[in-house]
Chain A
Amino acid sequence: MYTPIKCYQPYHGPFDPCPSRGTVCYQTPPNLYLGFQPPNLQQFPIQEALYKGTLWPALYDPYPTPLEKGAKR
Chain B
Amino acid sequence: MKQATDPAKERYALMEKIQMVDFALVELTLYLDTHPQDTQAIQQFNQLAVESRDLKSAYEQRFGPLRQYGGSFSGYPWNWGDSPWPWQL
Contact = CB atoms under 8 A, between A and B. Distances in A.
Interface of A: 36-37, 39-40, 46-47, 49-50, 54-56
B12 interface: no
B27 A39 contact: no
27 contacts: A36-B34, A37-B31, A37-B35, A39-B35, A39-B38, A39-B40, A39-B41, A40-B38, A46-B20, A46-B21, A46-B48, A47-B20, A49-B20, A49-B23, A49-B24, A49-B27, A50-B16, A50-B19, A50-B20, A50-B23, A50-B24, A54-B27, A55-B23, A55-B27, A55-B28, A55-B31, A56-B27
Nearest to A53: B23
Interface in B26-69: 27-28, 31, 34-35, 38, 40-41, 48
Contacts of A54: 27
Contacts of B48: 46
A46 B34 contact: no
A56 B24 CA distance: 10
Contacts of A50: 16, 19-20, 23-24
Contacts of B35: 37, 39
Contacts of B28: 55
Nearest to B23: A50
